[in-house]
Amino acid sequence: MECYQIEGGIPLRGAVQVSGAKNAVLPIMAAALLTPEPCVIRRVPDLSDVRLMCEILTSLGAQVRLAEGTLTIQAPNLEGHADYKLVRQMRGSFCVLGPLLARLGRAHVSLPGGCVIGSRPIDLHLKGLRALGASIAIERGYVCAEAPRLAGAELFLGGRAGTTVLGTANVMMAATLAKGVTLIESAACEPEVVDLAGFLVAMGAKISGVGSPFLTITGVNELHGAEYEVIPDRIEAATYAIAAAATNGEVAIQNARPDHLHAVVDKLREAGAEVERQGSALLVRRGPRLAPVDVTTQPYAGFPTDVQAQMMVLMTLAPGISIITERVFEARFTHAAELARLGADIVVEGPSAIVKGGLPLSGARVMASDLRASAALVLAGLVAEGPTLVRRIYHLDRGYVSMDEKLRRLGANVQRVPEPPEELELC
């Protein structure tokens, strides 16, 4: 295993290129299973999650080739069994269920299991597919779904925490090959869902209402191959924007989609950062002083849960009290205790974290627990005085393309080094 060794205190300066969006490319890869014809996907980020998805598609019988950011997928013959060994490693892989069911009339996909940010149920995915006529049973840890031909239906995908991103993806993909019209109410509006719909339309699907909570999908008999370019990763862009403000630097975040980042930019400005939009780039620098802000995560177009941990780091630097409320996932504060190891004062009370900002951060050994928490620890390490060691960075490699290299190009002192042996944990 490797870790990041960071020597903090250097303001980031320069330009960073945003890679393709992880959460857009994963469902798009699954959608390629809806046709026997070849699909070509461009601007594919080089991430371990993408490589795992390639492995899953291959295990289902697809031919998959990834070279220099371009992915070619062709699935003339498919198996309907997605194995636990692969699916449990990444929840995004569960979105093969809809395409397999639509294409083969049956699917046998492992339940993904919970993860460190919450229990992450799949009831809404199943509700939506049942509404399309699938009979579904859970047997020995697998979702066993059958439907000789799915049929269009009206269905509602709202749940406890609002709608569901991958649930919308699963049902939308299945509905493209259903007989008749499907109306999804309370569909997810995230740019990644819009991107998936764009790919499906390029394959010959009929979808309207994209980007709104009301999707209408008119089923077609078959889809064809397509070429498509994935959107830039708004979460990666937001992470570098916060890093610029946190380190008191000045960074041009290039090749981004500023129109996907309104909620983040709004909070950054409220927190005292200066953010300028220059075409597809965002120029971010710290203003004269940082101010505390209250942030509540919400489905798009609200403040993204995937940026909550990184924003918490910025709030540890703003003198005063910030309240960060997590409304999407019930357990997404594991980074708070690790940030405390660097000297931050954060108290978690139910769904909120109360951050008393303005204390100096000092480097320490910290442990990454999930993807975005890891990014937050790296940002904190960039600010802290002295060396920080962020362990278990395999989480970071799931969602950030060469983060160490990108940060070094901005002047940071970050090295990827072998992880030192575990020390005895004392209690």
Region for residue 133 given its phi and psi (left: phi exceeds 0; alpha: psi -120 to 50; beta: otherwise): left
Smallest separation, CB 24 to ligand EPU (Å): 8
Interface pick for ligand EPU out of 20, 56, 73, 91 (rule CB under 6 A): 91
Residues 261-320 that bind ligand EPU (CB under 6 A): 305-306
For 238-271, b/e burial (b = at least 16 CB within 10 A) is bbbbbbbbbbebbbbbbbbbbebbebbbebbbeb
CA distance 322 to 280: 30
Interface pick for ligand EPU out of 11, 45, 92, 292 (rule CB under 6 A): 92
Interface pick for ligand EPU out of 10, 21, 34, 124 (rule CB under 6 A): 124
Torsion angles phi and psi, residue 301, rounded to 5: -95, 25
Asked if 161 interacts with ligand EPU (CB under 6 A), we say yes
Q: Which is nearer to ligand EPU, 158 or 319 (CB)?
A: 158
Asked if 103 interacts with ligand EPU (CB under 6 A), we say no
Residues 179-208 that bind ligand EPU (CB under 6 A): 192
Which segments within 51-141 are labelled E, that is strand? Answer: 63-67, 70-74, 81-82, 106-110, 135-139
Asked if 30 interacts with ligand EPU (CB under 6 A), we say no
The residue annotated as part of the active site, out of 39, 115, 144, 427, is 115
Interface pick for ligand EPU out of 42, 88, 120, 130 (rule CB under 6 A): 120
CA distance 342 to 9: 13
Nearest to 388, CA basis, from 419, 421, 414: 414
- Please give the distance of CA 377 from its chain centroid, rounded to a whole number: 17
Could you give the count of Cα atoms lying within 13 Å of 389 in the half-sphere of its Cβ?
A: 11
384 preceded by a cis bond (ω within 30 of 0): no
Smallest separation, CB 362 to ligand EPU (Å): 27
Q: Is 115 a catalytic residue?
A: yes
Q: Which is nearer to ligand EPU, 329 or 333 (CB)?
A: 329
Smallest separation, CB 288 to ligand EPU (Å): 33
Asked if 23 interacts with ligand EPU (CB under 6 A), we say yes
Interface pick for ligand EPU out of 159, 302, 358, 386 (rule CB under 6 A): 159
CA distance 335 to 348: 11
Task: Name the site residues for ligand EPU (rule: CB under 6 A).
Answer: 23, 26, 91-92, 118, 120-125, 159-161, 164-167, 192, 305-306, 328-329, 371-372, 399
Question: Which residues are the active-site residues?
Answer: 115
